[in-house]
């Protein structure tokens, strides 16, 4: 059984995330990583998870520095001074959830191989240290200052921008308002009291959750609006007229800032190909984007979910660095005009109900491999086929008995042709399997 997904482990507290499990995870991590920094987002269940993790970590001989409530990117950044970073967060999930995410010293999340190793130790009951070897716990107080200083070194100061910032009552409250002020901005905060019950709106930074932010940007005549999720690793924005700049727009804008080489997931738009010199497409999930960035020595990676990775700061998603960059970019160019100037291509999505989705996907992969030249195929996650005037993606849903078809093309007419071709292949394969 797999415990960890691509974003660590997450679940409802005291159903999946029990003190027993957290202690086992701590014990399994502490066997290998002896100096650990531990942080959490403001969820009210963090104390229980933290106590159990610390008990496990110290029992197998790890020393723990407690950074208390900090954003995930700040914890990931501080992992460089340790063997491993442990973050207690369920990111943008509702308040009844919590989770654990593990970080390497370069700020990247643990990859699949590392997580499988931890899981094996959980199931084989990792060894306890002798009583003399039990680890100690102390406070770690300079994580926030170090993160802010590193960001200021990269982006500089002296930005006279008026920014409205919605922290979603999440951990971003403890860093982003102070960072933006030190950059020279006038900052108006919204939902900047940490509260893991997320009383203002759900912590996922979707347009529908951020109507107050849009209104406040317009009412205050601000230059920019920025919103984080519950643990501050994501950021989305609003232009000075209160228009939403979501994942697709920001992915394109950041790519314009780092046009040499970027890593993006297979479901991202062909707009990126128009902007960047080199585009590396990966499996969906920030850990895979991060791995590809390292492998290809690319400059920026991101996902349309609002996840942005900048290797110059570290290899984990950093919504706080993204906020600082957005201020910098907006002071140099009008981001509203930049978005309006982006190429726009029609896109279509549909889900086909399929009972035996993995068998159907296997058949489809062999069919595509035998039909199309390998240079036009990307099989990192489902089947992405590059065509002359667009692309299609066939991918099994992670949670439902469905296969999803996505297509994008230069024109509506080309879109229909590409989409229908992909859909026909899926339907044929489903029929054959019946």
Binding mask 294-333 for Mg ion (x = CB under 5 A): ----------------------------------------
3-class secondary structure, 374: helix
Integer CA distances (angstroms), 75 to 17, 82, 232, 241, in order: 21, 11, 11, 34
- What would the two tokens of residue 292 be? 């590809």
Nearest distance from residue 74's CB to Mg ion, in Å?
Answer: 12
| Residue 334 CB-density burial (10 A; 0-12 exposed, 13-18 middle, 19+ buried) | middle
- What would the two tokens of residue 373 be? 């030249």
Determine, following the binding rule CB under 5 A, whether residue 229 of this chain makes contact with Mg ion: yes
Nearest distance from residue 233's CB to Mg ion, in Å?
Answer: 4
Q: CB under 5 A: which stretch of 30-38, 115-123, 190-198, 228-236 binds Mg ion?
A: 228-236
Determine, following the binding rule CB under 5 A, whether residue 7 of this chain makes contact with Mg ion: no
Q: CB under 5 A: which stretch of 105-113, 141-149, 197-205, 230-238 binds Mg ion?
A: 230-238
Q: CB under 5 A: which stretch of 42-50, 86-94, 265-273, 396-404 binds Mg ion?
A: 86-94
Q: Measured from the CB atom, is 23 or 91 closer to Mg ion?
A: 91
Binding mask 15-54 for Mg ion (x = CB under 5 A): ----------------------------------------
Nearest distance from residue 204's CB to Mg ion, in Å?
Answer: 9
Tell me the C-alpha distance between 17 and 1, whole Å: 15
Q: CB under 5 A: which stretch of 24-32, 53-61, 225-233, 242-250 binds Mg ion?
A: 225-233
Q: Measured from the CB atom, is 50 or 91 closer to Mg ion?
A: 91
Q: Is 203 a catalytic residue?
A: no
Tell me the C-alpha distance between 309 and 321, whole Å: 9
- What would the two tokens of residue 216 be? 């406040």
CB count, 10 Å around CB of 408?
23
From the list 41, 166, 233, 381, which residue makes contact with Mg ion (rule: CB under 5 A)? 233
3-class secondary structure, 79: helix
- What would the two tokens of residue 116 be? 């499988």
- What would the two tokens of residue 50 be? 């933290």
Tell me the C-alpha distance between 87 and 89, whole Å: 6
Q: Measured from the CB atom, is 121 or 234 closer to Mg ion?
A: 234
Tell me the C-alpha distance between 250 and 235, whole Å: 9
Q: Measured from the CB atom, is 325 or 405 closer to Mg ion?
A: 325
Q: What is the DSSP letter of 169?
A: T
Q: Measured from the CB atom, is 82 or 97 closer to Mg ion?
A: 97
Q: Measured from the CB atom, is 140 or 228 closer to Mg ion?
A: 228
φ/ψ of 228, rounded to 5, equals -105, 170
Nearest distance from residue 72's CB to Mg ion, in Å?
Answer: 6
Nearest distance from residue 288's CB to Mg ion, in Å?
Answer: 16
Tell me the C-alpha distance between 241 and 90, whole Å: 32
Tell me the C-alpha distance between 53 and 36, whole Å: 11
Q: What is the DSSP letter of 171?
A: G
Nearest distance from residue 305's CB to Mg ion, in Å?
Answer: 9
Nearest distance from residue 427's CB to Mg ion, in Å?
Answer: 37
Task: Name 133's Cβ contacts closer than 8 Å, sequence gap at least 6.
Answer: 61
User: Which residue of this chain has its Cβ atom nearest to Mg ion in the complex?
Assistant: 91
From the list 223, 231, 381, 408, which residue makes contact with Mg ion (rule: CB under 5 A)? 231
Task: Name 153's Cβ contacts closer than 8 Å, sequence gap at least 6.
Answer: none
| Residue 112 CB-density burial (10 A; 0-12 exposed, 13-18 middle, 19+ buried) | middle
Q: CB under 5 A: which stretch of 88-96, 175-183, 219-227, 424-432 binds Mg ion?
A: 88-96
Determine, following the binding rule CB under 5 A, whether residue 161 of this chain makes contact with Mg ion: no
Q: Strand 300-303 relative to strand 261-265: parallel, antiparallel, unpaired?
A: parallel
* Spatial CA neighbour of 308 closest among 243, 232, 410: 232
Binding mask 172-211 for Mg ion (x = CB under 5 A): ----------------------------------------
Nearest distance from residue 53's CB to Mg ion, in Å?
Answer: 19
From the list 23, 91, 104, 392, which residue makes contact with Mg ion (rule: CB under 5 A)? 91
Of 60, 78, 91, 214, which residue is the catalytic one?
91
Binding region for Mg ion (CB under 5 A): 91, 229, 231, 233
Positions annotated as catalytic residues are 91
């Amino acid at each position: 059984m797999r415990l960890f997904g691509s974003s660590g482990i997450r679940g409802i507290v005291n159903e999946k995330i029990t003190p027993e499990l957290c202690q086992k995870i701590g014990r399994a991590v502490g066997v290998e990583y002896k100096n650990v920094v531990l942080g959490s987002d403001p969820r009210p269940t963090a104390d229980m998870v933290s106590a159990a993790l610390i008990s496990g970590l110290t029992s197998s001989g790890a020393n723990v520095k407690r950074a208390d409530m900090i954003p995930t990117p700040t914890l990931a950044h501080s992992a460089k001074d340790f063997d491993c970073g442990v973050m207690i967060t369920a990111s943008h999930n509702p308040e009844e959830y919590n989770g654990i995410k593990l970080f390497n010293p370069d700020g990247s999340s643990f990859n699949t191989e590392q997580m499988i190793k931890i899981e094996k130790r959980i199931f084989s009951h990792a060894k306890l240290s002798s009583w003399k070897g039990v680890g100690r716990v102390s406070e770690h107080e300079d994580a926030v200052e170090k993160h802010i200083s590193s960001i200021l070194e990269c982006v500089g100061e002296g930005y006279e921008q008026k920014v409205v910032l919605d922290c979603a009552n999440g951990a971003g409250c403890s860093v982003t308002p102070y960072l933006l002020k030190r950059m020279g901005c006038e900052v108006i905060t919204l939902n900047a009291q940490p509260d893991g019950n997320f009383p203002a709106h759900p912590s996922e930074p979707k347009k529908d959750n951020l109507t107050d932010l849009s209104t406040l940007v317009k009412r205050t005549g601000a230059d920019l609006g920025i919103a984080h999720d519950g643990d501050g690793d994501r950021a989305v924005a609003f232009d000075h007229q209160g228009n939403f700049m979501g994942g697709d727009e920001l992915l394109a804008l950041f790519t314009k800032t780092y046009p040499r080489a970027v890593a993006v997931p297979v479901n991202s738009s062909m707009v990126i190909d128009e902007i960047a010199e080199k585009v590396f497409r990966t499996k969906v999930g920030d850990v895979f984007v991060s791995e590809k960035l390292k492998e290809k020595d690319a400059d920026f990676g991101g996902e349309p979910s609002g996840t942005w990775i900048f290797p110059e700061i570290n290899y984990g998603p950093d919504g706080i660095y993204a906020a600082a960059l957005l201020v910098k970019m907006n002071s140099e160019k009008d981001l509203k005009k930049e978005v309006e100037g982006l190429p726009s291509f029609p896109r279509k999505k549909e889900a086909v109900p399929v009972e035996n989705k993995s068998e159907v996907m296997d058949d489809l992969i062999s069919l595509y491999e035998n039909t199309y030249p390998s240079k036009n195929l990307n099989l990192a996650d489902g089947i992405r086929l590059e065509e002359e005037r667009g692309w299609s993606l066939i991918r099994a849903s992670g949670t439902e008995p469905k296969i999803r078809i996505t297509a994008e093309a230069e024109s509506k007419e080309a879109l229909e042709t590409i989409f229908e071709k992909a859909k026909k292949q899926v339907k044929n394969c489903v029929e054959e399997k019946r």
